[in-house]
Structure 1
Amino acid sequence: MLDRHIRPYIDPPLNRIGGHIAGWGLSANAVTFAGLAFGLAAAGAVVAEAFVLAMLFILASRLADGLDGAVARARGVTDFGGYLDITCDYAFYAAIPLAFVMLNPAAHGVAGTFLLLSFYVNAGSFLGFSVLAERRKMRSDAHGMKSLYFTSGLLEGTETIVFFLVLCLLPAWFSPLAFGFGVLCLFTAGARVLLAWKVFATK
């Protein structure tokens, strides 16, 4: 919901920094892998109960996630780069809830499983829509230049990152927060299915 509104503010500085990184010879894929490494480090910090460190790693991971696209635009966008980016994104999104489950399986297991289920359903609705949108040659730059067609929803990347940061600030509240966010994820997926029915119901 917030992604398209913050894009005009974050894209210009990201593009400038990304241009410098491209000039150093780093590839967009290397930046993508760095973002994943930071994300997995954040998950490890959660398991170690180093929540401040986890927050710093989460922010570093998402900064890299924004910079890889900027580097790609400077060096040349590739289909594989877009594929790698979305794959690493979903690995990161799954790693943080899993880390909280590992932190306290007895207390967090059910809520964490429900949260991962909601992520899985939401991801399926997003990727399925993107495939059909590509088949119909649909285009949108509301979320910046992307390799995939991005549909807006109640919960997007910005909301998910804020949610992860809140979990780190309030780890004792993981279960109610996870259930609440999971319900909103399923609502987002349901809304996307309705949109797909409206857009793709006819040949």
Structure 2
Amino acid sequence: MLDSYARRLIDPPLNRAGQIIAAKGLTADGVTLIGLGLGLVAALLIALGLPALALVFLLASRIADGLDGAVARATHKTDFGGYLDIAADFLFYGMIPLGFVLADPSANGVAGAFLLASFYFNGTSFLGFAILAEKHGHVTTAQGQKSLYYSNGLLEGTETIVFFVILCLFPASFATLAWVFGTLCFATAALRIWGAYQTFKGPNS
């Protein structure tokens, strides 16, 4: 819901930084992998009971996630780069909740499983919509220039990062927050499926 507004603010400085990084020879895929590595470190620190320190790596990871696209735009975009980016994002999104579950399985296990199930459903609805949109030639740039179609929703990347930040700041509230956010993820996926029905139900949609 907030991604299109966030992109207007962050894209100009990210594009400038991307041009500098590209000029130094670092590839977009390399930046993607660096961002993933930072995100995995954040998940590990959460699992070790250090969420405040993890927050530093989490935010650095998301900055890198924004920079890889900027580097690609400054050089050249590839289909594999877009594929690697979305795969790294989904791994990151799953590992952060897993870190909280591992930190306190008895308190966070059930809520964490519910949250991960909601991520799985929401991610499937997102990727399925992207496949249909590509098939029908639909294009969107609301979330910036992407390698695949980004359908909007109640919860998007910006909301998820804000959620992760709140979890790191208030780890004792993980279970409550996970139930609430997971419910909203299920609602987002359901609304996206309804949107897909409205968009693609006809033979030539």
Question: TM-score, normalised to structure 1's length?
Answer: 0.99
Aligned to 1:114: 114
Aligned to 1:142: 142
Rounded Cα–Cα distance in structure 1 between residues aligned with 2:75 and 2:182: 37
1:75 to partner: Cα distance: 1.0
Aligned to 2:16: 16
Aligned to 1:53: 53
Rounded Cα–Cα distance in structure 2 between residues aligned with 1:101 and 1:116: 10
Q: Secondary structure at the match of 1:152?
A: coil
Q: Secondary structure at the match of 2:137?
A: coil
2:131 corresponds to which letter in structure 1? V
Which range moved further: 110-119 or 100-109?
Answer: 100-109
Question: TM-score, normalised to structure 2's length?
Answer: 0.98
Identity %: 57
Mapping of residues 23-62 of structure 1, within 5 Å: 23-62=23-62
Rounded Cα–Cα distance in structure 1 between residues aligned with 2:6 and 2:123: 22
Unaligned runs of 5+ in 2: none
> How many equivalent pairs are there?
203
1:201 corresponds to which letter in structure 2? K
Aligned to 2:191: 191
Deviations 1:90-123 (A, max 9, x none): 0000000000110111111100000000000000
Aligned to 1:160: 160
Rounded Cα–Cα distance in structure 2 between residues aligned with 1:66 and 1:86: 12
Rounded Cα–Cα distance in structure 1 between residues aligned with 2:98 and 2:182: 14
Unaligned runs of 5+ in 1: none
Rounded Cα–Cα distance in structure 1 between residues aligned with 2:53 and 2:106: 24
Rounded Cα–Cα distance in structure 1 between residues aligned with 2:6 and 2:171: 27
